[in-house]
Structure 1
Amino acid sequence: MKNNSYRPHFIVPGSSSTRLASSSAAPSSSSIAPTSIGAPAIAAQMATNVDISDSKLWPDFVTKAFIDIMVDEVTKGNMPNDVFHKRTWTSMTTKLSSMTNRSFKIVQLKAKMHRLRAMYREFYSLLQNIGFGWNTETNTVTASEEVWRNYLKVHDKASQFQKKGCDHYKLLDMIFNKNNATGVLHHSSTQDPPNTDEENELDN
């Protein structure tokens, strides 16, 4: 029977094979044209990676389930001073894991809540500006191209609402209206909320 196992091939120093290998070596760094990636391109790629990662961990049905759980806790009065206490976070994490048949950690729910809060605030601010309308049935924002152009010069993150409004806005309003973020994951309106990778690095 033929043996197809790998056999290393050794080259005798000074042989023609050695000379051939030397002549075909990689070109020096001076002969390679430098490449550069601009900051906007890097930022765009990072944003894309975050979106992909978030969509894998938080598909629509999981996000909706989490929002429903938060609304239920708010309705029960379990968000005193606009903050969920650790016992409530533990309960919500257990419920979401059970409902979706997925394993979640408290820190992941906290980070997702703050991304939802950031989206809610961005959309809320947009609707306060003259020239913008919102069709609740189709969840689309109505505004002229000029209104959009002028607004995006100052609020570039609002571009996410050009084709589609804020999902579950009315439910989010029940949670975040007049709500002030506190705690380890508090972020200002000018600072991005933690992405999915950062969720895995944060402690409870």
Structure 2
Amino acid sequence: MAPKGENIIEWSDEMDLAFLNVMLEKQRRTHTTTWKTSAWKEITAKMMNLFPDKQLFLHKVKDKYQRMKTNFTRFFEIVKHTGVGWDADTNTVTADSDVWDMFIKKNRAYKTFRSKGCKYYDLQKQLFSSSVATGALRISSTDPPPTLEEERRLNEEFLSRGKGKQKQHIDLEEDSDESDDPAHVAQPILTESRRRVPKRSQSKSSQMQECMDIFRESFTKNQQDTTSSAKKSKSVSSPEKPEKNSIEEALNELAKLESRIPKSLFVKAGKTLLDPGSQRLFMWFKEESRMEWILQLDHP
């Protein structure tokens, strides 16, 4: 086993910037950051060409990616938290002491952001934002500002997440993101505790009976709905037609012309149709002839 500290690479800002650009280029071509070993070999080869004096290997490059993602995840949680300010030009974070205490209480690694922020934040955001979920403290820009009670609840949820079931990890110490020492590799704090509520055990017979009851209830309801719908449809869209050659049939035809004749003449025509002969004559006429017949009622 190699002595501790042997072959450990100190990643410079220049290397970080080159590494981000190589990965962003790969992301643009593959539309993902979940790369297979072959893709990581390509990334490693490019980094070795750029920095031939560094002892870069596949596992060191992947470890650096994980540390960088972990660091970004934590920084992203801080800058999105209510009451936290961040100056992109100076790469500094401003927040009240109680906010810093809350984050540091969860993990000491957050302490490093008080002094140096997160370099190349915009590039890291392009690379990691699609896969990083900030959990309880994530607030949409369209949401209204939280009340004091809501903010207190969010803080409690944030702190409780660290106590839930998640992968065991080693805390990142201050400035640890500059080294590829495996002892500093940590998993991002992304997962929340998820409780599974046990389902009550049921015998096959009781399950079958429950299914039959649901089916019977659904079938009965559907039958009732279908019958009611059919009756309603019949009454609305298919009214019963009046008996042929009846006064009702003639009055229905007269009603179609109501908007085209004076009200007094309409009433007079209705009375005239009570005579069987006039009724038969009216029904025999076409529409325009019926209009002429009605108009002549005013000038016998």
State how far apart, in whole Å, the 1-side matches of 2:98 and 2:44 are. 44
| Corresponding pairs, count | 139
Alignment of structure 1 residues 11-30 onto 2, 5 Å = none
**1:95 counterpart residue number:** 46
Q: Give 1:149 deviation, angstroms.
A: 2.6
**1:114 counterpart residue number:** 66
Matched letter for residue 180 of structure 2:
T
Matched letter for residue 80 of structure 2:
Q
Distance 1:179 1:130, change over 3 A: same
**2:257 counterpart residue number:** none
For structure 1, which runs of at least 5 residues remain unmatched after alignment? 1-48, 181-187, 200-204
Between 108-117 and 121-130, report the one with greater CA deviation. 121-130
Other structure's SS at 1:161 match: helix
**Structure index of larger Rg:** 2
CA contact (8 A) 2:84 2:94 kept: yes
CA contact (8 A) 2:86 2:92 kept: yes
Alignment of structure 1 residues 1-204 onto 2, 5 Å = 56-77=9-30, 79=32, 82-101=33-52, 102-179=54-131, 191-192=169-170, 196-198=180-182
CA contact (8 A) 1:141 1:161 kept: yes
Distance 1:160 1:62, change over 3 A: same
State how far apart, in whole Å, the 2-side matches of 1:193 and 1:142 are. 23
State how far apart, in whole Å, the 1-side matches of 2:97 and 2:131 are. 32
CA contact (8 A) 1:115 1:193 kept: no
Distance 1:87 1:163, change over 3 A: same
State how far apart, in whole Å, the 1-side matches of 2:36 and 2:21 are. 17
Q: Output the aligned Cα RMSD.
A: 2.8
Between 119-128 and 169-178, report the one with greater CA deviation. 169-178
Matched letter for residue 26 of structure 2:
E
CA contact (8 A) 2:107 2:171 kept: no
CA contact (8 A) 1:114 1:193 kept: no
Other structure's SS at 2:116 match: coil
**2:151 counterpart residue number:** none
- Cα displacement string for residues 24-76 of structure 1 (whole angstroms, at most 9, x for unaligned residues): xxxxxxxxxxxxxxxxxxxxxxxxx98xx86x431221121111100111111
* Higher RCO structure (Cα 8 Å, ≥6 apart): 1
Other structure's SS at 2:20 match: helix
Distance 1:75 1:189, change over 3 A: farther
Q: Percent identity between the aligned chains?
A: 23
Distance 1:165 1:176, change over 3 A: same
Q: Give 1:189 deviation, angstroms.
A: 7.0
- Cα displacement string for residues 105-149 of structure 1 (whole angstroms, at most 9, x for unaligned residues): 111111000000100110111122111111000000011233323
CA contact (8 A) 1:78 1:88 kept: no
TM-score (norm 1): 0.59
Other structure's SS at 1:110 match: helix
Normalized per residue, the structure richer in helix is 2
TM-score (norm 2): 0.41
